Structure 1
C-alpha cells in the first residue's frame, strides 16, 4: 500500500511531526535529518503529503531519546529494534540512579509529577535565596537536572512534566540573572544556539555562572541563524560568542557548524561551545574553546581575562 493511502485506523493511530516532537522531545528538524541519513523514522504520508508516524515508530523514538540522554549517539542505536533498545535501558537504569536521592530532590520531583508549578517555582526561589545564584546553579539545578533525567529515563515522568520543570527553572534563572546583571563588564559574551537546537537551559546555567563574576552576558535565545550570530557579534562588539548543544543535537552538525562559524567570526572574537554534543570534540574544533562543565566556564573566563588584561 502506498504511504499516501492510509486507512482510517492507521491514520487515527499515527501522530503528526509536531505531536511527535512534543511526545519525544526530539526536534522536528532532527527527525527529518534522521529520516534522510538513517532511513528511520520512516513516516507515512496523509492525503496532503504530511508526515504521519505510526505508534511503533514513536515508541522507538522515545527509547532512543532516553538512551541519548545517557550519552548514546543516535548512529549507534538507530538500527536496533525496540526490544534491543529496551534491553539497553534495563541494563543501564538501576546502576546509574543514585539510591540515596536527597530528600530535597525527591520533594521537588514530586512537585513536578503533580504539576504543582507555583509550588515548584516558590521552592526554587527559596533555594536560590539561601544558596546564591552560582551555588544554586551548581548545587541545585545541575543535580536536579540529572534527577529529572533519570526519572524520565525510568518512565516516572513524561515530556510535559519535563517541560514544566524546565520552564520553572528558566523563569527563576532569568529573574535572578536580570537582578545581578551589570553594564560595562568584560568580557562581553553573546549566548545563543544554532537553528536546530531548542534547549535553552544550558545557556541560562552558563549565564547564571558568569554574570556574578562581572561578565556582561547578552542572550539571543535559541535557534539563531549563523549569519545573524555573526552580525550580532560584530555589531555589539562582543568579545566572546558562546553556544550550547544538548545531547539530542547531531554531533557532526555541531562540529561542522562551529567550524563554519569560526571562519565567519573575526579572529578577535573568541568562540566557546558547551553541552553534551561537543564533549570530546576538541581535536576537530580549531579555534573553539570546548567548555566541559560549569567550573570550566569559570576557568575559560579567567583565561580570557588573563590574555586580555590591560
Structure 2
C-alpha cells in the first residue's frame, strides 16, 4: 500500500500528542482533559510512555467542535454527537442570507479572497487584502472586510471546504496586512494608553490585531504583547507602560473558569484606575461578566467606550 503514491496514507497509523493537538485545534490541554472526563470524548489511547495519543479522526472532530463553539454552540450539547451530525450542524450555519448582506459587490470581493486561499496564492491574497485596506481605509477594512471574511473562512472550514493549513495561510496573511497598516499609522502621544494581549492559554491573536487597528486609528497609544502572556507579566507591563486600559481577547474554546478566575486575579492586582476590557467570543464573558471588567461584545463598541473613557477623564478635576 505504501508503494502506491495515489493512495491515501493510513490514518490509523498516525497519532498526535496532547501538545500537538492543542497547537492544531486551539483547544487547551485542560479543555481536552475535561471533555475526556465529562463527555467521554476524546478517548485517546496511551503510547509506550503512558502519554495520551490522539488519532487523526479525533483531531478532525476536535477541529470541527472548536469551530461550532466559536459560532456559539455549547460543548455539553455537541461534544458527544457523531462527526456527521456536527458537519450537518456546521452546514446549517452557512453564510448569512444574501439579502441581509446588502452589498453584492462586497460579497463578491470576499468570495475572491476565499478563492485565493483555496488556490494557495499567498502573494496574490496579501496583495488583494492590502489593496482593499488602502481603498477602504483601515477602519472600514477591519469592520467591512476582515471581520466578515474571518467568519466566512471559519464557516468554510467547518463545512470541510478548506483545510486547517489553508486557514493558517489566511490568518498569517491577514495578520501581515494588519500589522503593516498599523505600522503606517502616525505615532501619537495621546491617551488612553492601551496594553493589548491574551492570557497564556489563548493563542488566537487576529481579533487582538483588529482591535489594535481601531484603537490606534482613534488616537490611542497602543502597546501589544502579542498572545499568551502570563498574568504577572501583564501586570508588570501595564505598570511599566503606565497603561490606562488593558485589553484582552478571548476565544470560545477557553476554559470558562480560567477566564473568570484570571480576570478576577488581574482586576485585584492592577491599580483601580487601570480599566480592563475583555472582548471576543467566549460565552462566559456575557453570561457572567467579571466585576470591574468591561465586556465588549463587538469591535463596533470600541469608539463609544473610548468616548466614555475620555469623557470621564475630562470631568475629573485637574490635579
Normalized against structure 2, the TM-score is what?
A: 0.86
Deviation of 1:108 after TM superposition, in Å, equals 0.7
After superposition, where does 1:129-208 map in structure 2 within 5 Å? 129-208=134-213
Q: Distance in 2 between matches of 1:184 and 1:32?
A: 46
Q: Which runs of 5+ in 1 are unaligned?
A: 1-8
Moved over 4 A (4+): 36-39, 94-101
Q: Distance in 1 between matches of 2:95 and 2:152?
A: 14
Q: Which of 303, 306, 309 is the aligned partner of 2:308?
A: 303
Q: Which runs of 5+ in 2 are unaligned?
A: 1-9
Q: Distance in 1 between matches of 2:88 and 2:111?
A: 27
Q: Distance in 2 between matches of 1:20 and 1:283?
A: 29
Q: Distance in 2 between matches of 1:181 and 1:289?
A: 28
Deviates more, 1:145-154 or 1:15-24: 15-24
Deviation of 1:248 after TM superposition, in Å, equals 2.0
After superposition, where does 1:272-283 map in structure 2 within 5 Å? 272-278=277-283, 281=286, 283=288
Identify if the C-alpha distance between structure 1 residues 48 and 220 changes in structure 2 by more than 3 Å, giving closer, same or farther. Answer: same
Deviation of 1:110 after TM superposition, in Å, equals 0.7
Q: Distance in 2 between matches of 1:174 and 1:130?
A: 17
Identify if the C-alpha distance between structure 1 residues 19 and 227 changes in structure 2 by more than 3 Å, giving closer, same or farther. Answer: closer
Deviation of 1:262 after TM superposition, in Å, equals 0.9
Partner of 2:16: 15
Residue 188 of structure 1 contacts residue 216 of structure 1 at CA under 8 Å; is this kept in 2? yes
Residue 113 of structure 1 contacts residue 161 of structure 1 at CA under 8 Å; is this kept in 2? yes
SS for the counterpart of 1:173 is helix
Q: Distance in 2 between matches of 1:178 and 1:250?
A: 33
SS for the counterpart of 2:282 is helix
Deviates more, 1:265-274 or 1:148-157: 148-157
Q: Distance in 2 between matches of 1:296 and 1:303?
A: 11
Partner of 1:270: 275
Partner of 1:77: 78
Q: Which of 244, 247, 266 is the aligned partner of 2:252?
A: 247
Identify if the C-alpha distance between structure 1 residues 213 and 223 changes in structure 2 by more than 3 Å, giving closer, same or farther. Answer: same
Partner of 1:59: 60
Residue 231 of structure 2 contacts residue 266 of structure 2 at CA under 8 Å; is this kept in 1? yes
Residue 22 of structure 2 contacts residue 28 of structure 2 at CA under 8 Å; is this kept in 1? yes
Residue 181 of structure 1 contacts residue 216 of structure 1 at CA under 8 Å; is this kept in 2? no
Deviation of 1:167 after TM superposition, in Å, equals 0.5
Q: Deviations over 1:159-183 (max 9, x none)?
A: 1111111111111111111121524
RMSD after superposition: 2.4
Q: Distance in 1 between matches of 2:160 and 2:11?
A: 26
Q: Which of 125, 133, 136 is the aligned partner of 1:128?
A: 133
Residue 40 of structure 2 contacts residue 80 of structure 2 at CA under 8 Å; is this kept in 1? no
Partner of 1:213: 218
Normalized against structure 1, the TM-score is what?
A: 0.88
Deviation of 1:42 after TM superposition, in Å, equals 2.2
SS for the counterpart of 2:214 is helix
Residue 211 of structure 2 contacts residue 299 of structure 2 at CA under 8 Å; is this kept in 1? yes
SS for the counterpart of 2:184 is helix
Q: Deviations over 1:70-94 (max 9, x none)?
A: 211223322333344344334x234
Deviation of 1:203 after TM superposition, in Å, equals 0.6
Identify if the C-alpha distance between structure 1 residues 282 and 155 changes in structure 2 by more than 3 Å, giving closer, same or farther. Answer: closer
